Structure 1
Amino acid sequence: MKDALSRRERQLMDILFARGSASVAEVCTALPDPPSYSAVRALLRILEEKGHLAHREEGKQYIYFPTQERPVAAQSALKRVVQTFFGGSVERAVTALLTEEETQLSDDELARLSELIARTKEKDDA
């Protein structure tokens, strides 16, 4: 498993997932309250060493990009959140999401979730 990310490393990854790729300068511009250019460059190098990023050279600058597709990274992050904040309980995580006032699911979304729960139950019973 890849190393866990710090808050700032997650911010960098969010920027790169949103843009697809970016130079150090572009990442600096997109960061709220950015550290120095050299600090961002160092963080990107660390993320590359951890296996989260790769780079290509364009002229004199490096262009960084994620090594995983966003859905794969999201699944991994979600597993860590469920484990860390909900003791591994999917039920507690889903309950927390569904009881938020901002959560509004359409009838179609509720039907898809019900179907997924039914399929999961069938699979577990088999």
Structure 2
Amino acid sequence: MNRLEQGQLSRRERQIMDIIYRLGQASAKQVQENLPDPPSYSAVRALLVTLENKEMVKHGKESRRYIYKAAINEKKARKSAIKNLLSTFFDGKPQKLVAALLDEESEQLSASEISEIRKLVENKED
């Protein structure tokens, strides 16, 4: 089982990964400062250790502090998350995911977003 298949990330773990991807690298303090409704510093450190155990981040030392970087590029992480979403909620079928996005009741997509999706699908077909 590779590191991307070791399990889903919690909401906080995803938030931390988003921060690290956005900043490129971050100390625990920087992560804490960028989290919404941030937990304690020790809780952030524990989450970073968990992410390191899941092989999602790695750390190096800068002076007396650890600096965390993503261990997987963002594109691979995104693909894994989508694969997980598909298998968990949509029977592994992308068309069911697209149908859910296009559901009129949810009104999640604008006309321009739908147009962009059409163009992407047409380009894939060519």
TM range (shorter): 0.7 to 0.9
For 1:55 and 1:62, the matched residues in 2 are separated by: 6
Map of 1:97 onto structure 2: 101
Look up the SS of the partner of 1:10 in the other structure. helix
Look up the SS of the partner of 2:113 in the other structure. coil
Shift of 1:3: 2.7
Are the counterparts in 2 of residues 2 and 51 from structure 1 also a CA contact under 8 Å? no
**Percent identity (aligned):** 42
Q: How does 1:59-98 map to 2 (within 5 A)?
A: 59-98=63-102
Are the counterparts in 2 of residues 23 and 62 from structure 1 also a CA contact under 8 Å? yes
Structure 1: gaps of 5 or more residues: 120-126
In terms of Rg, which structure is larger?
1
Deviation per residue, 1:16-43 (Å, 9 max, x gap): 1111110000000000111110010011
Q: How does 1:42-61 map to 2 (within 5 A)?
A: 42-61=46-65
Alignment CA distance shift 1:111-1:2 (3 Å): same
Range with bigger deviation, 43-52 or 100-109: 100-109
Provide the TM-score with structure 2 as the length reference.
0.83
Residue type at the aligned position of 2:71: T
Alignment CA distance shift 1:111-1:7 (3 Å): closer
Map of 1:18 onto structure 2: 22
Provide the TM-score with structure 1 as the length reference.
0.83
Look up the SS of the partner of 2:8 in the other structure. coil
Runs of 4+ in 1 over 6 A off after TM superposition: none
For 2:122, which of 91, 111, 114 is the aligned residue? 114
Query: Could you say what the CA RMSD is over the residues aligned between the two structures, in angstroms?
Result: 1.8
Deviation per residue, 1:31-56 (Å, 9 max, x gap): 01111100100110110011000011
User: For this pair of structures, how many residues does the alignment match?
Assistant: 118
Are the counterparts in 1 of residues 19 and 31 from structure 2 also a CA contact under 8 Å? yes
